[in-house]
Amino acid sequence: MPPPVFTNGGNKQVWQPIEDNADRYTKYFLNILNAGLPSIVAVDESVNMVFGSTSNIPRGLKILLSQGRLPGIHVYGGTQELANAPRQMISQSTHLFGFNVENDYDERMLMSYLRIPKEKGKHLELKKMDFYYRNRDLGGEAVLYHDAKDFVSRFL
């Protein structure tokens, strides 16, 4: 069962359910939204949130993704299978980070979301610590960074 969410700030909570259950996920995500506190919600392996098609995710997560920014709730989703990730996580996102992926279809999808022109190469061919970042609010294509220090230094 989902744990109760906090009603005051400054806390951390990790919930690792034993089984995937859309109704329990919905309850948990709606409880976070209803608490109304600024929060960071990290969903590792977001493909586990998909029940059927990539648009069929728990209703609570859909609502959290679309309404959570108002009270300062930010959702971070990660996956190694972009093609099977929840469609809403990508369509509602502001910031996209792209790392190496092995599957050709996932790589094409990633390049499309990052707006990396096809003439730049058929594959990302990133080195060990390289990644692309794109702020969708600013438009344009993604920028290549060679590590986290490179990324942070460009914003200081």
Q: What integer pLDDT is reported at residue 103 of this predicted model?
A: 86
What is the rounded CA–CA span in Å between residue 146 and residue 48? 29
Task: Enumerate residue ranges in the chain where pLDDT < 50.
Answer: none
pLDDT in tens, 90-132: 888 889 999 988 888 888 888 888 998 776 666 788 898 999 9
What is the rounded CA–CA span in Å between residue 92 and residue 106? 19
Q: What integer pLDDT is reported at residue 121 of this predicted model?
A: 61
Q: What integer pLDDT is reported at residue 27 of this predicted model?
A: 96
Q: What integer pLDDT is reported at residue 120 of this predicted model?
A: 61
Which CA distances in Å does 154 have to 39, 71, 131, 139, 143?
26, 29, 14, 18, 11
